[in-house]
Each structure stands twice: as structure tokens, then as C-alpha cells.
A and B are shown apart, each in its own frame.
Chain A
Amino acid sequence: MSETGAADGVGRSGSGSSRAVRWSGAAAAALLAVLALVEPGLAQQTEQVYGDFPVVGPRGAVWIAAQLHLMFAAFVLGVPMFAVVVEGIGMWTGEKRYDRLSKEFTRLLLVAYSATAIWGAVLVFFLSTLYPTFWRHLTEVFAPTMWAYAGLFFFESFTLYVYYYGWNHMKEGAKKKLHLGLGVLLNVWGTLVLFIADSWLSYMMSPPSGVTAQTDPASIELWNAVMNFTWMPINIHRLIANVVFGGAIVGAYAAYRFLAADSDEERAHYDWMGYVGNFIAIAALLVLPFAGYWLGREIYAYDQAMGITMMGGFMSWLWIIQAFLIGVLFLAGNYYLWTGMDRIPGAERFQKYTKYLLAVLVLGFVVWATPHTMIASRQELAAMGGSHHPFLNVLGVMSAKNTAVNFMILATFISFMLYRRANKVPKVDWAKAGTWVQAAAVAVAAGVVLFYGVYGYFVTAEVRIGFSVYQVLSVLAAMVFVVGLDVAMMRGAESRGSIRWGKMPERSQYALFILAVTFTWLMGLMGFARSGIRQHWHVYQTVRDTSSQAATPALGHAAIMISVCVLIFFALVGLIFWLGTLAEEGSGGGGAKAVGEEGAGGGPGADVGEEGPRLESAEEQVA
């Protein structure tokens, strides 16, 4: 619309009959040209041009394209990370089913990879046609990285093709090692691609010091623009989040296949695959808050106004929604483990503990999601004496929330440990003492978390922020120590029977769907929080958004847009899952069928109802 308007403006001045108008137009143009030479930034400010897009407007169009590109990209960058690890486990243990699982992960990548590229192209076309001035600014700063990006994308594509299509050709000996190397290389390309794209968006949030609205973009040093304040925190946060997301989507795929399975073998295979997906997602989720916390700190440190808008101001309600959704993730992940215990002989010993773990999780959930400033009617506000509840306000601050989330992490960790132990009886002499030491380690970590959580109320803010580090470190240390001790304790453990893969209630699979949908929604919502704190700036305090859609969207509007993106994403993912099934039918064998073909002991399908040493080792490796 603005483009048309500008063209109309030129046309009118050109067609005017008055000589004075023509001369004044020419003089103004000459003046602008001189000013542009002297002060390029001014020219940049006066030439902001925007395109128009039907129905959703230019911002809506770019939003949807960027969001969907990001979701698919997260999947195709996350899955290779654990696909190659699973392949490595297969090589190391000699168990073929890991190799098949890794290949099945990779098969999902192929179609998702095309979708990523398509949405990426749509995003670039939208940006260059709807936001041409801003796009020009980005290209002037980042052109060399864009060329590198295209090259890396090319390498990544062909590495993926060779990796997938060369699977059978390179399945033995040195060739297998080469194949694994290709998987590693695929991750290297993917990580570089991610880091380059992150440099663009993080530059938009935190351009380097000294860059102002008057700075000529061509004069900005490329490396300074790349190495901006939030670049590395976003890189790390996204790397971990991609693994979480990839695991969750793979889990949803497995759940879909489990529910649609025709045979016990197929159900057993996809039950196992779902378990692995859930394990990867939840294990990576446990460390994600720490990376997010680092990013938040860096945003505060870069610009306090941005930090306050994000955490305490306009965007703060998104953190309550985030707390609620992450609470759902924790509950769904634990629920999946607890329902899975029904299929493990010996697990009944531990099922009595689930209600206590659930109590910790729900209390943590309630504390984490308690708002500091409450939504209240006029009468309720008057009764409280303000927006803060006089009693519950202690739960609204970070001391309480950090404590709650650390307790939830510990409870989830205990669920994993119980699951891991479910069918084992340790045979070492020191088993009882070892278990007490493990319990003591968890208790000490909980004590440290609680101590600093309470102490945090009595110290100044900058001291309190440091406490979260002690809380996190104590939880991580306890987790590492307990797992280490457990591995030693379970050497030569007696088995009470193998896991009856496939004997899982169907409702448990919906927990995997909930995980995938919730992760996707969270990505969109919190991505909006990160991006929206720039407010009316394309590049924060450097390139101003002067379009008619410059206002920061209301939370309700943002939630609708993100929900639409999530729906589109899952519609497309559903299509990809279906295509995956078609490809399998066409090739005459896939995951579960191959398991069946392999015969007894070849995979989880063959272990249904049997004693299976392979499943023992699967637990050792994966859990």
C-alpha cells in the first residue's frame, strides 16, 4: 500500500501543470539527494517503504512464514543430533534396532527438510517484497553471511541425501564409520546454518553499541554485527530447544504409529520409539531453563527497558502462560513414565511413590504459575489493597519460582530413576547403602534449593539473582552423582522380567501428543515475547518500524496468530507422517516390519512377553 502511495505521489508531482510545483519538487529531490550523500541514515529514515498483503497484512504474512519456517527448521536441526547419537549407540552395542530407529528418524527429516526450505523461501520473498527497506538494511549488513548460508544449506542438503540414501550401502565396517561421520557433518552444517540465521535476528534485538538510526548499514563491521550481545545465548538456547522439539515431534510420530498399528510387533516398536522420543525431549528440557535464564540475563544487561518489558511489563503475562505450559510438559512427561510402569515387571514396588511425586509437581506447578499481579475485578482489587495479594504475593517473585522449578526438575528426575530401576534388583553388597546415599544426595539438593529460595527473600535483588546459580548447580550435581552411582549399582543386577513393549494403554500416547503440541505452542509464544520486546523497531533503536502495523500486537492477537501457526504446522506434520507411512508401504518394509523380519531378539517387537537381555541394555543406554 505504501509502495503504491509513494508511486502515486511521484506521479502527481510529475504531472502537475504548475512550473512552481515542478521546481519545488526538483529542489526538494535535490536537497534530499544531497542530504542522503551527507547523511545516509536520514535517507534511510525517509525512504521506509512497505508492501501490502491481503487479509492478514504484511506483518501477519511475515509472522506466519517466519514461525512455520522456524518450527520446521527446529525439527530438522534437532533430529539429526540425536539420530546420529542413536546410530552411534547402535554401532557401539552392535544392536541393529538402534540403527533402524536412527534411519527412521532420518526418514522423517527428508520431507520436513523440503518444508523448511519452502517456508524459508516464502519468508525471504515476503520480507523482500513487504519490507523492502528493512530487507535492504539487513542485506547491506549481512550479505556475505547470506551467501555463506546458501552454500551451507547446499552442503547440508546433499549431506542429508547421502546420509539417508547411502544408509544401506554404508552399513558395515569402515563404511559404517564413514556414515556416522556424515551424520556428524550434517550436524556441523546444521549448527552453522543456525548460528548464521541467529546472527540476523539477534542483531535485530541487540545491534552493536554505536549503531544508531543515523549509521550507514554498509559501514557496520560484519563481525561486530554477528557477535552481538544476544547472539550466543540465543544460539545455545535454540540448540538445546531444537533437541527438545525434535524429540517431542518424534514422540508424537511414534504415538500416531502406535495408535494406528495393526500388529503387536508394530505396537512394540513404536512404543519403544515413543519412549526414546519422550526421554530425549524431557532430558533436554531439564537443562533448557538454564540456557533461557542466561538469555534473559543478557537481554537485561543489554537494555534494561527491554528486560523489564519482557519480564515485568507488557510481556510478563506470557511468562505465566509459559509456566502453565511448562507445568503441563512436566506433568505429561511424568505421566507417560508412570503409565509405562504398568508394562514393567517389578515396577509395582515403586508405583506408591508416584502420588508424592505428583504432589511435588502440582505444588511446583501452582507456585510457578501464580501471578504476582493478579487479574481481578474492582472489588477483588479493593479487598487485596492493590494488584498484589497480601499472602500469595510471596509466590509471585523469582525466589519462589526458581525454587518451584528446581523441585519439579528433581521430581521428574526421580520419576526417571524409578522407571530405570523398575525391573531391576541390584546385587552389589552396598545396594542398600547406595540407595540411601542417592536419597541423601537428592535431599541435600532439595535442601540447598529450599534454603536459597527462602534466603532470597531477605537479600537484595542482585544477590538473589546469584542464588539461582547455586540452586541449579546443586540440582545438576545431584543428578550427575545419582546417575553415576546408579550405573555402578546396577552392574550385574537381577532382572524381574523385560519390559513388555507395546503393552501400553492408548491414553498414554496422548501424553506424547500433548508434549509435541505444547512444545510447539511454547516456541511460538516465547518467540513472540523475545521478538516483541523490540516493540516498534525493526532493529532495536536503529531502524524504526514506520508502517501502519508498527504497534506491538496485543497478547490476545498474538496468541491467536501463534495458535493458527501451530495448527498449520501440525496439519503439515500430519501430512509428513502420512507420507512417511506411504514411503514405508512402497518400500515393502519399515521400522516395525523390519523388526518382524529380523526374527526373535532383533528388536523390541520380538521381546514382547519374553526375557530380553537386549531390552536391559536398551534401558542402560537410553535411560
Chain B
Amino acid sequence: MSGPERVREWVGHPFWATALVLVLAYAAIRFGIPHVPPLFGVASAPVPSSVVLQYMLSVFLALMLYVSANEERWERFREPIRVLLVEPDLGWLRVAVLVAAMAITGWLTYTNVRPSYGAPAALRSIHPAPPDQIQFEGETLRLSRLQNPLREEGDLQEHYERGAEIYAENCVPCHGDRLDGQGHFANAFNPAPLDLTSGGNLPQLSESFVFWRIAKGGPGLPPEGTPWNSAMPAWEGVLSQREIWSVIVYLYEQTGFTPRSTEGHGGGEAGSSGSAAEGTS
């Protein structure tokens, strides 16, 4: 049998094909996702190990289902394992594989229990649920009904310019002059300041939600889902209601996003304004 034929037969065998697909999938997830998209000008980053594990489990599960869904394929898949475990001539290989398996298990155990100075991986939700109402300098504001008053009064351009001034004075150090969350202080915070130009943020939010986040900042985040670790200050007491609304006008006009609005089928008294996040986690 020639070399290419031998390779073809080897690749066509369910066991070795499974092993090959696993290796290729790992390479694609670990190295392909971080490095290939940037070649086409698309931003990417290494995939967190929790997601690598999840993806690899999915691929492994799928491969096991495929090889065992047909009796003949399943028999062929098990053949090399059976040979390894029972063939008298392969005693040396059996011992080598068992030693390697134990060594790998030991190494994985060691790396998992070894003391580390790094912070543990965090499970964090980033969509806080707003309260039904808040107190702003003694005034009760019901968020589910709150609208930006500047949309209905005066000149929007004036509000936009006033908002730009306030943003430049107060927000640029963290959120950046391009609103991309890359201000001078940005790298000092974890989590990083919000990228306001991302399509996953402002367009998902109603203006009342943004008002709440600016007014109450990190300290005003709800108790569930803690620790939030947000460095966002509470601007109540520093900015007036009108000034906050001006900044909100500026944010949406500058980014070109439309605030999320009501779907128009609220439940009477308990009806909602637009919600902040429809995406899962």
C-alpha cells in the first residue's frame, strides 16, 4: 500500500478520524479564532478556557454520537482500543499508554490544585435589573414611565452641545473622547469602562435605564449579581437631572444609535418601557 493510500485509509478510519477532528477543532478554537479574524481586519482575542472547554466538549460529544450511530462504524471505532487492550504483542504500548494517561491525569490535577495568586475566573452578569422607581435628590422617579424631557422641549442641537460639554468635562477620562471606553484611566479599571459605540450597549437600552445608570452609578447597582466591581461614580448631586438628560442626548446623537423604546403592549399600570437586555448572559 502506497503512502497516500495509507494516509487515506488512516484518515478514513472512524477512530483516527475522530482523533484528527478533535485536534483540528482544538487548533481552530485555540489559535484560529484569535489569529485568523485579525488577518481580515476583524478584532478578536484568545478564547477563555471555560469556553474552550465548552466547545471541545460539544465537538467530542458530537463525534461520539456520530461514530456510535451506526453499528459497523461503532465496531470499527472500537477496534484500535480493543487491539491495544488485548493484543499480546502490544504489551509495551499498553504500558506506555497507561503510564502516559496517569501522567497526564496527574499533571492536570497538579495544575488545578497548585496555589495561584491570580484572581479566580469570574461569573459576572452585566445587565443589572433597574428598580421600578428611584429617588433623585428627594424626587421620586418611576423608571418604567420616565421619558427624556429634552426630546420634547427646546432645541435638540442645544441639548446636544450642552451634553457634549458635560461629557468632555466629566466622562472623557474613562469613556474616552471617541466614546469607545478607551479613556486615559480605562486600563486601571476591571471591568473596563463601557464602550458606548458598541451596538450591544446603547441601542439595547431605554433612555430611562441610561439615566438610572448615570445618576446612581456603581453604588446604585442592585444587590443581586454582586460583586459588580463597577467604578462608575454616582452623578446625582454633581449633575442635575437636566444635565444628565443632555448627556444622554449627546450619547445617542453622537453614536447615531436610537434609544430602545416601548414595544407598545405593556400591561397597563405595570406596563414596561423598553428593556435593557434581551440577550442571554
Contacts and interface: CB of A to CB of B under 8 A. Distances in A.
Contacts of A362: 58-59, 62
Interface of A: 206, 209-210, 229, 298, 300-309, 311-314, 316-317, 319-320, 323-324, 327-328, 331, 334-335, 338-339, 342, 351, 354-355, 358, 361-362, 365-366, 369-393, 396-398, 401, 457, 460-462, 464-465, 505, 507, 535, 541, 552
A158 B120 CA distance: 58
Contacts of A552: 224
A207 B199 CA distance: 35
A398 B280 CA distance: 7
A398 B278 contact: yes
A384 B55 CA distance: 18
A351 B132 contact: no
A338 B277 contact: no
A303 B225 contact: no
Contacts of B43: 390-391
A508 to B, nearest CB: 9
7 contacts: A298-B267, A312-B125, A331-B61, A339-B69, A377-B121, A377-B122, A462-B263
A507 B37 CA distance: 41
A376 B48 contact: yes
A63 B278 CA distance: 28
Residue among A378, A381, A465 facing the most chain B CB atoms (10 A cut-off)? A381
Interface in B224-281: 224-225, 258, 260-263, 265-281
Interface in B122-145: 122-132, 144
B279 A384 contact: no
B44 A541 contact: no
- 5 smallest CB-CB distances across A and B, nearest first, come from A312-B277, A312-B127, A209-B269, A316-B281, A391-B44
A6 B214 CA distance: 44
B129 A313 contact: yes
Interface in B165-205: 181, 190-192, 195, 198-200, 203-204
B66 interface: yes
Contacts of A301: 263, 265-267, 271-272
B122 A381 contact: yes
Contacts of A334: 65
B2 interface: no
Residue among A209, A369, A376, A401 facing the most chain B CB atoms (10 A cut-off)? A376
A379 B118 contact: yes
B101 interface: no
A392 B48 CA distance: 11
A304 B120 CA distance: 32
A520 B27 CA distance: 36
B279 A331 contact: no
Contact of B281 (A327, A331, A342, A372): A372
B116 to A, nearest CB: 9
Given A301-B265, A313-B224, A358-B66, A396 B279 contact: yes
Contact of A209 (B33, B44, B55, B267): B267
Contacts of A319: 280-281
A308 B277 contact: yes
Given A302-B272, A371-B51, A392 B70 contact: no
A387 B62 CA distance: 28
A335 B70 CA distance: 10
B58 A389 contact: no
Contact of A397 (B128, B270, B279): B279
B191 A381 contact: yes
Contacts of B46: 380, 383-384
A461 B203 contact: yes
B45 A391 contact: yes
Given A305-B131, A401-B280, A300 B275 contact: yes
B42 interface: yes
A319 B278 CA distance: 12
B260 to A, nearest CB: 5
Contacts of B144: 303-304
